[in-house]
Structure 1
Amino acid sequence: MDKHLELRGIGKRFGTAEVLSGVDLSIARGEFVCLLGPSGCGKTTLLRIISGFESASSGQLLLDGQEINHVAPHLRGFGMVFQSLALFPHMTVAENIAYGLKLKGVAPAQRASRVEELLHMVQLPAIADRPVSALSGGQRQRVAIARALAVPPKLFLLDEPLSALDAQLRDSMQIELRQLQQQFGVTTIVVTHDQHEAMMLSDRLVVLKGGRVQQCDTPSHVYRKPANAFVAEFLGAANLLPGVVRGPGMVEVLGSTLALPSSLPAGSKVTLAVRSEDLRFEQAHLDAPARPNSISGEIDFLRDLGAKSELILRCGDERLRCHGSDAQFQSARCGQRVNVLIDAERCSVFAG
């Protein structure tokens, strides 16, 4: 991997509060990385340390092998878009986009040409002279992105850039942002709390909790092979069920012994993680033996979500969320006894 940005043991304290601890991360040139995690996990602080607006309490930050811990933000050559966008209200669209070029001493004719080029890239031609106050939220967002890319940045950093947009515009802007990043080939780091956004945008996800990296991998691998129960529940809201290892590859869950991957010794307490779309069920018959790798439950709640249906299964003291097609749930009824089928290949078992 062509290591463009490296974080080695990055830590941050505010007084006695430890916000980041031992963060190690390598980002390749041209990669799109999302920092994802709950509020207070340290993702924005980490982005601010990368940008230079916050200093690390410990560790090294390297760009192309050179330490930049003490390099001022304006000397790092990074493009930044923050949640507030911070456009200059007294300037036109063109003046906002050209601001960085003007500071660099680029000639007026070249500035105008670059502004026109960028406006076409963000699909906003012919608004160069429009005041920023006259723009919609989506237009302002695109202008902020164009301004950050006007002087080709070494890194492109974005902090919750789309959170203020409505759902439909946000979805279209996610696609445009990803296409722009691919077009420019710029190394990009985005902070977001939106799981769908992170899955859709990134080459790699960095999941944080309590100032520590829980997992760093491709979106599909993080989703399908979570590193721990927190990642499984946070990304995609997996069902977490308590269990006990009864033997090699055998785990007791809610009174049923299931064949599940586990190398832990007998008697070990474990947590089974299974995603809602991976649960299958069939009507239970009192006179029929229980199906292998199944848990008995009762349908407690059922609703139509349009593209899919959702039901809540009560299995002993646990409630399982299950998603599936309308066809699969067509005959389901509240109060119905069912066997919940567990696919061992689509589950994760964690210690504790």
Structure 2
Amino acid sequence: MELTVRHIDLSMGEGKRARTVLSDVSFSVPDGAFCSLLGESGAGKSTILKVIAGILLQDGGSVLFDGAPVDGLPAHRRGLGFVFQDVRLFPHMTVEENVAYPLRMAGAGKRERLARAGELLERVQLPGFGPRRVQTLSGGQAQRVALARAIAAAPAALLLDEPFSGLDESLRDDMRSLLLRLHREDGLTVLMVTHDANEAIMMSDRIVALDGGHISQIGTPEELYRRPATAKIAACFGDCSVLKGCVESERFILDGIVLPALGIGDGPAVAVVRQGDCLLSPVGEGHGTVPAGEAVVRCGVYAGAGYLTRLDVAGQTLTVPTASLPDPGEIVPVRIDGKGCFVFSA
């Protein structure tokens, strides 16, 4: 199913206390695609999901499924699967009863419901868990049960609200792999809320980046990574240094550091520099990099495979991976690969 939101507006509160939560939000998720809503807390990601699900009613705009508006349909008639961050399993039901609940609401018989629940528990790698109480489950197991319940009635699309944020890193990786496998096997349209840019890159066909209730950029993971539209988007992909300076004649200038700023008008600007695209090297060394100037070493930290050297640039910090630590106070040459440097007008 193709999922479309068109010019969605939503405010919360009344009178002087009213605040805009969503403003003219429009995007589409093609049939069978995996799309992520990416942004900081408060950007409006979860609110959009609830509008699509029919949990919240928008002030303006429309939600469409395969081109047909569904704004008048209540949540239980929209045919969507939903996985919340806090899973929301029914504590008075067994695992298999939780998974089978959507089928029960659809009028399926008990034998059919339990057979489907058993099949889904196998698919989410929880065979034999059906009779258990949900209170006995670990966090990762509960998320698997919630995912199985969400797809039990073959929903038209699957909505996920930061489903893995409460899990440790190894469990998150397992759940991401499981979700992608189910998505590909069933051909489900998936829309997932996340604040983790790396998660969005790894899992998505399309990313919708939000900031303050507005859409900042829509594109493939590669488009957002290589051609970010804003400093916030550039800074969310990997470890970065953010520097405030000025652009003069298409050059970003901050103390002894000069960076290319093609197409950026003169005036205050922000440069986002990815750590992996910086190095300390004499002129002429460093394939793919260009001289950016010199800076003073402030300090450094051990980072496992090497060190992170902190450079002082007019009171701001530029972090560069190094094989060893220079001495504090040393003046060092900096080289930067332009592909990992993004400049935006302030």
Q: Normalising by the residue count of structure 1, what TM-score does the alignment of the two structures yield?
A: 0.89
- Is contact 1:35-1:191 (8 Å) kept? yes
Partner of 1:288: none
**Counterpart residue number, 2:25:** 23
Q: Tell me the CA shift for residue 237 of structure 1.
A: 4.9
Match of 1:35 in 2: 37
Q: Is 2:277 the partner of 1:278?
A: yes
Whole-Å separation in 2 of the counterparts to 1:79 and 1:100: 9
Percent identity at matched positions? 39
| TM-superposed deviation, 1:74 | 0.3
CA shift, 1:71, in A, is: 1.0
Spell out, residue by residue over 1:114-150, the C-alpha distance to the aligned partner (whole angstroms, 9 max, x if none). 1121111101111211111222111111011001111
- CA apart distance, 1:235: 3.6
The one of 188, 191, 204 equivalent to 2:190 is 188
Match of 2:70 in 1: 68
Provide the C-alpha distance between the structure 2 equivalents of 1:269 and 1:303, rounded to a whole number of angstroms.
Answer: 31
CA distance in 2, matches of 1:170, 1:264: 39
CA distance in 1, matches of 2:237, 2:290: 28
3-state DSSP of counterpart to 1:80: strand
Question: Of the candidates 330, 336, 339, which is equivalent to residue 336 of structure 1?
Answer: 330
Shift of the 177–198 alpha-carbon distance from structure 1 to 2, 3 Å rule, reads same
- Match of 1:293, SS state, is strand
Aligned-partner SS, 1:87? coil
Q: How does 1:296-315 map to 2 (within 5 A)?
A: 296-307=294-305, 309-315=307-313
Q: In the TM superposition, what is the alpha-carbon distance from 1:110 to its structure 2 partner?
A: 2.3
Give, in whole Å, the separation in 2 of the partners of 1:256 and 1:126: 62
CA contact (8 A) 2:256 2:294 kept: no
The residue number in structure 1 matching 2:246 is 244
Counterpart CA distance in 2 for 1:144 and 1:271 is: 42
* Amino acid corresponding to residue 176 of structure 2 in structure 1: Q
C-alpha distance in structure 2 between counterparts of 1:308 and 1:146, whole Å = 42
Q: Which residue identity lines up with residue 339 of structure 2 in the other structure?
A: E
- Return the match for 2:164 from 142, 162, 169: 162
Given candidates 81, 97, 109, the residue that maps to 1:95 is 97
Question: Are 1:295 and 1:315, in contact at CA under 8 Å, matched by a contact in 2?
Answer: no
- Which 10-residue stretch deviates more, 51-60 or 341-350? 341-350
Q: Distance in 2 between matches of 1:334 and 1:182?
A: 52
8 A contact 1:138–1:165 mirrored in 2:
yes
Mean Cα displacement is larger for which, 43-52 or 178-187? 178-187
Aligned to 1:263: 263
What does residue 136 of structure 2 align with? Answer: 134
- 3-state SS in 1 of match to 2:127: coil
**Separation in structure 1 between the aligned mates of residue 282 and residue 331 of structure 2, nearest angstrom:** 6
Preserved CA contact (<8 Å) 1:297 1:316: no
Query: Would you say the 8 A contact 1:6–1:25 is kept in 2?
Result: yes
Where in structure 2 are there 5+ consecutive unaligned residues? 284-288
Letter in 2 for 1:200: M
Q: CA deviation at 1:272?
A: 2.2
Give structure 1 stretches of 5+ with no counterpart.
285-290
The CA RMSD measured in Å over matched residues stands at 2.1
Tell me the residue number matched to 1:12: 10
Within 1, Cα distance between the matches of 2:180 and 2:255?
43
Q: Structure 1 pair 239/116, CA: closer, same or farther in 2 (3 Å)? A: same
Measure, in 1, the Cα distance between the counterparts of 2:174 and 2:26.
33
Secondary structure of the corresponding residue to residue 270 of structure 2: strand
| Residues in 1 aligned to 2:203 and 2:264: alpha-carbon distance in whole angstroms | 36
1:84-116 deviation per Cα after TM superposition (whole angstroms, max 9, x unaligned): 211111111111111111221223332232112
Q: Kindly tell me the number of residue pairs found equivalent between the two proteins.
A: 337
Inter-partner Cα distance in structure 1 for 2:258 and 2:89: 60
Q: Which residue of 1 aligns with 2:116?
A: 114
Q: Deviations over 1:236-255 (max 9, x none)?
A: 353222343433x4443434
Distance 1:85 1:146 in 2: 11
Question: What is the distance in 2 between the residues matched to 1:221 and 1:255?
Answer: 31
User: Residue type matched to 1:319 in 2?
Assistant: T
Q: What amino acid is the match of 1:244?
A: C
